Structure 1
Amino acid sequence: MFSNKDIAQFANLETPFYYYDLSLLQDTLGACASAAKAYGFHVHYAMKANFNEVLLQKIKETGFGADCVSGNEVKKAVEVGFSNAQIVFAGVGKSDREINESLDQDIFCFNVESIQELEVINELAAKKNKTAKVAIRINPNVDAHTHHNITTGLDENKFGINSWDLPACADMLKQCPQLEFVGIHFHIGSQITNLDVYKNLCVRVNEFAQWFEERGFIVRILNVGGGLGINYHQPEAQIPDFEAYFKIFNDFLEVRSNQEVHFELGRALVGQSSSLISKVLYVKNGKKKNFIILDAGMTELMRPALYQAYHQIENLSKREKGIAAKYDVVGPICESTDCFGKEVEMQETSRGDLIGIRSTGAYGEVMASHYNLRENVRVAYSEL
């Protein structure tokens, strides 16, 4: 909930801008770190969710590692000061340049997603006389019960090595002297709110770990990915239940004494820490629709246009109780999909009112674009 002081501050800033609540971020990171420590679990922050450097510094200071899906994310993690020994490089399409640069940084591990990628990393590591640690990302065919555009763990998805290719994968590992197999990796999707899904994942992880061990491999790392969701409909319920989340894995994973359990959390750590603040440019009232046209658009927040994502929208200038009208809340971009919400109930809205779009800390600022030659999105921060 925004305070009157917050809203008074917003009135003096040029819109649109992302507003980061650093106190909430700190509390969320602390809750996650405490819950993970209770079980000896290791957390890597999924940098694709948000690579704002102020946030990255706070996350690094918490002691988390970095989960990267591009060479530039690896570079940024190193620049910010994440320990190289805590940097993991995932991604279905790593280029030779990205692999070479990551080898030079002696990162902890490559999460490998194809048999051909194993060959490539082995060849590139040999040229540098290096040994690359690798974990095999397996597609477990577990339904995450989330939006189909953010599901990653089904046979139909492009991610990971399918179970029927594992014998060939095991053979390739044995033929690659520059690779050190350290474990197995999974990630079944994003914005998962049904924790029972993770019970199903644990069953599959146990099966695959046993499969590799039966073939003479030592599985030191069980990387179960991330995907824990946040409550977009009730952003005031701000900190996810990390204790319940980690307890699922403690109860259902079969972890040996020599094994570590790793997680790659992104949205759950940063999603509620930010709101997009915008101003009403125009109000268009029609026979069938009322439109609020904001100075923020899909260039600032892509998620609703990309996969119809829901964000709570509030009129910050008129916070009295009671609903006066329904509006389609849209942006200024020359695209019909430039819409943040349809039939949104709120107080009667006027030109110049401040609008807050909640829960934008993940996949918000980082997906902003210059389409229509838009300027860089602005950023503001709360005080700790």
Structure 2
Amino acid sequence: MKNFPHSSLTETLKTIETPFYLYDMGLLNRTLDKAKEAADKRGYFIHYALKANNNNPLLIAIREHGFGVDCVSGNEVSKALEMGFNPSTIDFAGIGKTDEEIETALAADIFSLNVESIEELEVIDEIAERMGKVANVSLRINPNIDAHTHKNITTGLSENKFGLDLTSLPKLVDRLHIFTHINVKGLHFHLGSQILDLSVFKKLAVKASQLNNYFEKQGFNFEHINMGGGLGVSYKNPGNEPIADFEAFFKVFEENLSLPKGVKVHFELGRALVAQCGILVTKVVFVKKGLTKKFLILDGGMTELIRPALYQAFHLTENISRNEVPETYDVVGPICESTDCFGENLSLSTSYRGDLVAIYTTGAYGQVMSSKYNMRDKAKAYYVANGILSDENAYLESIKAATK
């Protein structure tokens, strides 16, 4: 269990019904500190991508660090408001905003609706006029840059569904002048997720500078430019790389963005802020011997963590009940699907029925994407702070007590 940071709690964890999510709040806060420090010294502002994880304790920590929120649904906008985030720090992206979602955002006077098509601009203008509002919007431009990531999580290529295509910009410029209830505040970009090659962000910074200059020449002087997110984390070595290199990430933009004085630079980070603080803890139900391999069958599956099935994603997996001679297993879940597999030919300590298994780097796109397929119960969440294990209610009570 060399990667498990809470070995002193192992006996306590054995008493909890599995599977469950375990969140390291100390690591979360250290990660948020590092991200804020690197952004603040450059005058950058971070919106947390709420889709990565919407657990209340995590959102409270993010809010208390002074971050805003990036939303991709009307319910996420409502959630951000309920959690006390200032509307002036909330942006709303997504290519398929419904009329009701747009109305929610306009009623709250959020920072920006990030617009992805001319058709969407037309609808927002109509709704804003009906509501007696002026909609603050940012134009999401698709820069046609390869993010060098999995095809299912790239968003900035011309063949992707996201954003305004570069070839549509002349038509866009012509149309922008006719909207009477639209205030175009800035530009927005987002290339994809789990990007580890920082040269990709250099290309984005250069392209974004060029596009901002293009709009300036057309008479548009923007207040801000939103560079999106996408910074990746270490799935293979989370113990040694628990915090993403925010300094290197922001330095790329500092060195390669060329913008007029006074233009604010915003980012939307999700995975990089919360991924490493989450661990899925599950239990060995059976060790099944096949013809040529062994199957480690867990009580957690793709209903708790769908990333391996959806993206063929790797998550470091470890037996935290014992440390014996390693064996090779196909680690699978109980769901009635062949895709319910966390990994093939994984090396784990010799394992037995009832052992606890930790699946790391699951704080982002883990619990938030879980389902009740096969009529399974939703996994609960527990939180570790200062060596104390709590469920959500107990943890929130401890926060209240500490602030009195």
Q: TM-score, normalised by structure 1?
A: 0.98
2:98 paired residue among 91, 95, 101? 95
Does the 8 Å CA contact 1:202/1:249 hold for their aligned counterparts? Answer: yes
Q: Distance in 1 between matches of 2:293 and 2:98?
A: 48
Q: Which residue of 1 is the match for residue 267 of structure 2?
A: 263
Does the 8 Å CA contact 1:140/1:154 hold for their aligned counterparts? Answer: yes
**Gaps in structure 1 of 5+ consecutive residues:** none
State yes or no: 1:86 paired with 2:92.
no
**Gaps in structure 2 of 5+ consecutive residues:** 387-404
Q: Which residue of 2 is the match for residue 282 of structure 1?
A: 286
Percent identity, aligned pairs only?
52
Deviation at 1:3, TM superposition (A): 3.2
Does the 8 Å CA contact 1:118/1:172 hold for their aligned counterparts? Answer: no
Q: Which residue of 1 is the match for residue 188 of structure 2?
A: 185
State yes or no: 1:364 paired with 2:371.
no
State yes or no: 1:338 paired with 2:340.
yes
Q: Which residue of 2 is the match for residue 304 of structure 1?
A: 308
Deviation at 1:383, TM superposition (A): 1.7
| 1:74-108 per-position Cα deviation (integer Å, ceiling 9, x unaligned) | 00000000000000000010000000111111101
Which amino acid in 1 is paired with 2:158?
D
State yes or no: 1:119 paired with 2:84.
no
Taking the TM superposition and a 5 Å limit, the aligned residue runs for 1:1-384 are: 1-236=4-239, 237-320=241-324, 322-323=325-326, 325-384=327-386
Q: Distance in 1 between matches of 2:99 and 2:6?
A: 50
Q: Distance in 2 between matches of 1:331 and 1:346?
A: 16
Does the 8 Å CA contact 1:224/1:262 hold for their aligned counterparts? Answer: yes
Does the 8 Å CA contact 1:119/1:172 hold for their aligned counterparts? Answer: no
Which amino acid in 2 is paired with 1:368?
S
Alpha carbon RMSD of aligned pairs, Å? Answer: 0.8
Does the 8 Å CA contact 2:287/2:353 hold for their aligned counterparts? Answer: yes
| 1:191-223 per-position Cα deviation (integer Å, ceiling 9, x unaligned) | 001111111101110111011000000121111
Q: TM-score, normalised by structure 2?
A: 0.94
Q: Distance in 1 between matches of 2:225 and 2:9?
A: 43
Q: Distance in 1 between matches of 2:60 and 2:323?
A: 34
Instruction: Say which SS state the counterpart of residue 23 (structure 1) adopts.
Output: helix
| 1:153-187 per-position Cα deviation (integer Å, ceiling 9, x unaligned) | 00110000001111111122111010001111000
Which amino acid in 2 is paired with 1:265?
L
| 1:264-304 per-position Cα deviation (integer Å, ceiling 9, x unaligned) | 00000000001000000001012212101100010000000
Does the 8 Å CA contact 2:301/2:335 hold for their aligned counterparts? Answer: yes
Which amino acid in 2 is paired with 1:340?
F
Q: Distance in 1 between matches of 2:8 and 2:15?
A: 11
Deviation at 1:255, TM superposition (A): 2.4
Q: Distance in 1 between matches of 2:130 and 2:290?
A: 67
| 1:352-376 per-position Cα deviation (integer Å, ceiling 9, x unaligned) | 0000000000000000001000111
Instruction: Say which SS state the counterpart of residue 81 (structure 2) adopts.
Output: helix
| 1:100-125 per-position Cα deviation (integer Å, ceiling 9, x unaligned) | 11111110100000000000000000
Q: Distance in 1 between matches of 2:172 and 2:75?
A: 28
Q: Distance in 2 between matches of 1:239 and 1:383?
A: 17
Instruction: Say which SS state the counterpart of residue 358 (structure 2) adopts.
Output: strand
Does the 8 Å CA contact 2:212/2:259 hold for their aligned counterparts? Answer: no
Q: Distance in 2 between matches of 1:75 and 1:198?
A: 31
Instruction: Say which SS state the counterpart of residue 382 (structure 1) adopts.
Output: strand
Which runs of 4 or more aligned residues in structure 1 lie more than 6 Å from their structure 2 counterparts after TM superposition?
Answer: none
